[in-house]
Amino acid sequence: MTIALGSDHAGFELKEELKHFLSDLEIDVKDFGPHSSESVDYPDFVHPLCSAILEGQAHTGILICGTGNGVAMTANKYSGIRCGLCWNEEIATFIRQHNDANILALPGRFISLDMAKNIVRNFLDTEFEGGRHARRIGKITPPVNFLC
């Protein structure tokens, strides 16, 4: 399994910690940057990561910014990406079971490292339940006649 990691400056420190955590679990990591805590724009890192996932270069991704919202909003612009924002372990379980999330978004400024590790564990260890949830996922993209 290969996991793509990306952040902005507000998520840089947690990204580096999680990189070590995942490597210790012998999981391959592809780091899309940034590579320092210098101020950057999160979309510049989210777009390449989403492309890599959609092209099959990574199985899943973890994105981190200050609140987790900027990276999640950007990632969710892509059809085929389902990015869930998590601030505790239970939500991490549900974004897999119910939403089949393929990217986890974390709020780097609002969770501890221990919480982030617990969230990542649940995200990686939980399977999609399918069934009624698959039907709901199929309805996420707005019908053409609803688009303005």
Give the tokens for residue 78. Answer: 């892509």
What gap in Å lies between CA 125 and CA 123, rounded to an integer? 6
Check if 20 is active-site. no
Q: Which is nearer to ligand RB5, 3 or 14 (CB)?
A: 14
Give the tokens for residue 19. Answer: 């990189």
Check if 65 is active-site. yes
How many residues contact ligand RB5, by CB under 6 A? 8
Beta-carbon count within 10 A of 116 CB: 24
Q: Is 10 in the site for ligand RB5 (CB under 6 A)?
A: yes
Q: Is 8 in the site for ligand RB5 (CB under 6 A)?
A: yes
Q: Which stretch in 15-23, 63-71, 122-130, 136-144 sits in contact with ligand RB5 by CB under 6 A?
A: 63-71
CB of 132 to ligand RB5, least distance (A): 32
Task: Please name every residue paired with 2 in a beta bridge, in sequence order, or none if there are none.
Answer: 28
CB of 107 to ligand RB5, least distance (A): 7
Interface residue with ligand RB5 among 4, 18, 65, 75 (CB under 6 A) is 65
Give the tokens for residue 48. Answer: 């390449």
Q: How far is CA 21 from CA 1, 24, 26, 41, 123, in A?
A: 15, 5, 9, 25, 14
Q: Which is nearer to ligand RB5, 6 or 53 (CB)?
A: 6
Task: Please name every residue paired with 30 in a beta bridge, in sequence order, or none if there are none.
Answer: 4
Residue number of the CB atom closest to ligand RB5: 70
**Phi-psi group of 131: left, alpha or beta (phi > 0 → left; psi -120 to 50 → alpha; rest → beta):** left
Q: Per the residue annotation, which of 9, 47, 59, 98 is the catalytic one?
A: 98
Handedness of CA 22, 110, 91, 139 (dihedral sign): negative
Catalytic residues: 65, 98
Residues that bind ligand RB5 in the complex, under the rule CB under 6 A: 8, 10, 42, 65-67, 69-70
